[in-house]
A and B are shown apart, each in its own frame.
Chain A
Amino acid sequence: MSEITELKKVATQVRRDVLRMVYEVQSGHPGGALGCADIFTALYFKFLKIDPKAFTMDGKGEDLFFLSNGHLSAAWYSVLARSGFFPLEELATFRHIDTRLQGHPATEEGLPGVRVASGSLGQGLSVAVGAALAKKLNKDDRLVFCLMGDGEQQEGQIWEASMFAAGRKVDNIIGIIDYNGQQIDGACDDVMPLGDLKAKWEAFGWTVLEMNGNDMEDIVQTIPKAIEKTGKQKPVVILMHTEMGYGVDFMEGTHEWHGKPPNEEQFNKAIANFEETLGDY
């Protein structure tokens, strides 16, 4: 079976996990998590140089991943568990009391894979830049990846971090923006127009790539190009076009499922889109 087919199988299971986790606890953010299942899968099952069985906070000699838009936690937890960071059955504890799988990612209970809390938006890129600086000081040539939301681009701190990374030539970082055009109150263009994001990031001094984040072949072709662009005195960012709620027709193209769980009927319709490829948790 081809590598793309294998990755797609994982992404399908991740989408099942997301829906089951959010439905079971009747809370969470399914829309963005479904839209980003492909990039999470590609990073954790193909690109990140990591050892899930031996997670360390400092991650020396490994690639680091930061999730700035922490509300995508369900998809992140699914790939972390399925790539071996913690037991798969722990996904059933998502958002329940005493869980390590907090509604938004946290480090307090030592969940392997998570290096900083996120959820209050706009902060992850700064942390990723700091971690990238530490890698340079440590003569560690691995990379730092940071996934952000598009609505999150409205936060001023993103642009502080963007200016710093370009100004200080932090060229061992790859930012990825989940460009689905939706945020909790509606379309980004209605809530607060982002303008020409590509031109903005280029003007800030970053190398900008674009890809379709719901096309595994495009992801698998574009990430190596982004990696190739690192180490050239400029930080790299990928504008990743996705569909919020991807794979569930009634969840696509709307902000309605940003932070709302499906009811029983909706869940049954939604889950039917995704075959149990790797076995449910």
Chain B
Amino acid sequence: MKKYIYQEKKDTRSGFGEGLFELGKSNPDVVALCADLTGSLKMNKFQDQFPERFFQTGIAEANMMGIAAGLTIGGKIPFTGTFANFSTGRVYDQIRQCIAYSEKNVKICASHAGITLGEDGATHQMLEDFGMMKMLPNMTVISPCDFNQTKAATKAIAGHEGPVYLRFGRPKVPNFTPEDQEFIIGEAQVLIEGSDVTVFATGHMVWQALEAANMLNEKGISAEIINVHTIKPLDEKTVLQSLKKTGCGVTAEEHQINGGMGESIAQVVTKNLPKPLEMIGIKDVFGESGKPDELMAKYGLDAQNIVKAAEKVVSKK
């Protein structure tokens, strides 16, 4: 079984900041906007180096989304940066009318997503963003798993014509994917091949899934681990190919089960290849204050829970 190791833990938001800075150097059309969270989004390097292409909007996210849409009209590629709750729920109608429906080339970059935001609590723990964003026609939804992948994804979305939602987070997590990786939008990655059960994971849950694979291996269960870094368009081919082989699956995401990645996978599976599925995610409740690891454990979003779900779903085959 393939093993993954990491040298250090890094936050995915810093991967975004690095990617944005590199884009600033390589693409003069890239501009960035931030609603008073430049430090939190790690956008300072871009701001310092390219002040004429950086727009501080103040605490006015709706206006930021509209301005971003307007900037595309002049051929710019705007990257908006704020927390995930202010990037989606707060500005849903602005995104819907001026960006998604109007097919504007805006990259909505959302940090501090999910429950691992931690101590700030439920007001800031966005757990519904995949659902809101994937429902919008024309929208691409991306959720990379670590620092290196977030950096690669940030650079890749600049080359994709059309609205994109890029989700990442606050805590430092294992940085295990290659530094020089190519990020292919819409292509799920088979990280570990297995034969008994497929675990479809996204974002911070990918590392948890890799740890779960080790634990399952010790129990004699061969788990295939797939990194679904693009929630929409979903890589249906890879999903179905894997389930055809393993015969059952677990989905794992730091998001509400309602409206999440698992729901998208279930739709594809139900239509094409009905197989038992278990879903790991937030169970229709809001989060709360706490340390990221404590919250992941309390809300059932860790490797142990993936193992339990895998054992359960294997028994249903």
A interface residues with partner B (beta carbon < 8 Å): 57-60, 64, 106-108, 115-120, 122-135, 137-138, 140, 156-157, 160-161, 163-164, 167-168
> Contacts of A118 on B, CB cut-off 8 Å?
97
A134 CA to B76 CA, complexed, in Å: 7
A157 CA to B53 CA, complexed, in Å: 23
How near does chain B come to A117, taking the closest CB pair, in angstroms? Answer: 5
Q: A106-B101, A120-B93, A164-B58 are in contact. Are A131 and B63 (CB under 8 A)?
A: no
Binds A, one of B66-74, B81-89, B156-164, B193-201: B66-74
Partner of B67 from A60, A106, A130, A140 at Cβ < 8 Å: A130
How near does chain A come to B78, taking the closest CB pair, in angstroms? Answer: 8
Q: A60-B74, A123-B98, A137-B76 are in contact. Are A116 and B60 (CB under 8 A)?
A: no
Tell whether, in the assembled complex, residue B74 and residue A117 are in contact, meaning their CB atoms are under 8 Å apart.
Answer: no
How near does chain A come to B33, taking the closest CB pair, in angstroms? Answer: 9
Tell whether, in the assembled complex, residue A168 and residue B55 are in contact, meaning their CB atoms are under 8 Å apart.
Answer: yes
Tell whether, in the assembled complex, residue A58 and residue B67 are in contact, meaning their CB atoms are under 8 Å apart.
Answer: no
Partner of B71 from A59, A133, A164 at Cβ < 8 Å: A133
Number of B residues, CB within 8 Å of A: 32
> Contacts of B64 on A, CB cut-off 8 Å?
126
Tell whether, in the assembled complex, residue B73 and residue A131 are in contact, meaning their CB atoms are under 8 Å apart.
Answer: yes
Complex: chain A residue closest to B35, CB-CB:
A160
Kindly list the 3 A-B residue pairs having the minimum CB-CB distance in the complex, ordered from nearest. A130-B70, A134-B74, A126-B66
Q: A107-B103, A160-B63, A161-B63 are in contact. Are A123 and B97 (CB under 8 A)?
A: yes
Tell whether, in the assembled complex, residue A128 and residue B70 are in contact, meaning their CB atoms are under 8 Å apart.
Answer: yes
A117 CA to B137 CA, complexed, in Å: 14
> Contacts of B55 on A, CB cut-off 8 Å?
133, 168
> Contacts of A129 on B, CB cut-off 8 Å?
63, 66-67, 70
Tell whether, in the assembled complex, residue B53 and residue A137 are in contact, meaning their CB atoms are under 8 Å apart.
Answer: yes
24 A-B residue pairings within 8 Å (CB atoms): A106-B102, A107-B103, A116-B69, A116-B70, A116-B98, A117-B97, A123-B98, A126-B69, A129-B70, A130-B78, A131-B70, A131-B74, A132-B70, A134-B70, A134-B75, A134-B76, A137-B31, A138-B75, A157-B66, A160-B60, A164-B57, A164-B60, A164-B63, A167-B58
A124 CA to B65 CA, complexed, in Å: 11
A135 CA to B70 CA, complexed, in Å: 10
Most buried by A among B53, B58, B78, B102: B102
**Is B134 in the interface zone, CB < 8 Å from A?**
no
Tell whether, in the assembled complex, residue A123 and residue B66 are in contact, meaning their CB atoms are under 8 Å apart.
Answer: yes
> Contacts of B74 on A, CB cut-off 8 Å?
58, 60, 131, 133-135, 137-138, 140
Tell whether, in the assembled complex, residue A157 and residue B63 are in contact, meaning their CB atoms are under 8 Å apart.
Answer: yes
Q: Interface digits, B231-275 against A, CB 8 Å rule (1 contact, 0 not)?
A: 000000000000000000000000000000000000000000000
Tell whether, in the assembled complex, residue A134 and residue B102 are in contact, meaning their CB atoms are under 8 Å apart.
Answer: no
Tell whether, in the assembled complex, residue A64 and residue B102 are in contact, meaning their CB atoms are under 8 Å apart.
Answer: no
A107 CA to B53 CA, complexed, in Å: 26
Tell whether, in the assembled complex, residue B104 and residue A116 are in contact, meaning their CB atoms are under 8 Å apart.
Answer: yes
Complex: chain A residue closest to B65, CB-CB:
A126
A160 CA to B104 CA, complexed, in Å: 21
A116-B104, A133-B71 given; 14 more Cβ-contact pairs under 8 Å: A58-B75, A124-B66, A126-B70, A127-B70, A129-B63, A129-B66, A130-B73, A131-B74, A133-B67, A134-B74, A138-B75, A163-B58, A164-B58, A164-B67
Tell whether, in the assembled complex, residue A130 and residue B69 are in contact, meaning their CB atoms are under 8 Å apart.
Answer: yes
Interface class of chain B by DSSP: helix
**Is B52 in the interface zone, CB < 8 Å from A?**
yes
A168 CA to B94 CA, complexed, in Å: 21
Q: A118-B97, A137-B53 are in contact. Are A161 and B103 (CB under 8 A)?
A: no
A140 CA to B71 CA, complexed, in Å: 13
A118 CA to B66 CA, complexed, in Å: 11
A23 CA to B27 CA, complexed, in Å: 50
**Is B225 in the interface zone, CB < 8 Å from A?**
no
How near does chain B come to A230, taking the closest CB pair, in angstroms? Answer: 17
Q: Interface digits, B101-140 against A, CB 8 Å rule (1 contact, 0 not)?
A: 1111000000000000000000000000000000000000
**Is B20 in the interface zone, CB < 8 Å from A?**
no
How near does chain A come to B103, taking the closest CB pair, in angstroms? Answer: 6
A205 CA to B223 CA, complexed, in Å: 62
Partner of B73 from A57, A124, A163 at Cβ < 8 Å: A57
> Contacts of A132 on B, CB cut-off 8 Å?
70
How near does chain B come to A146, taking the closest CB pair, in angstroms? Answer: 10
How near does chain A come to B66, taking the closest CB pair, in angstroms? Answer: 2
How near does chain B come to A214, taking the closest CB pair, in angstroms? Answer: 29
A89 CA to B73 CA, complexed, in Å: 28
How near does chain A come to B91, taking the closest CB pair, in angstroms? Answer: 9
A120 CA to B69 CA, complexed, in Å: 15
Partner of A127 from B60, B67, B76, B96 at Cβ < 8 Å: B67
A164 CA to B67 CA, complexed, in Å: 10
Tell whether, in the assembled complex, residue B60 and residue A130 are in contact, meaning their CB atoms are under 8 Å apart.
Answer: no
**Is B62 in the interface zone, CB < 8 Å from A?**
yes
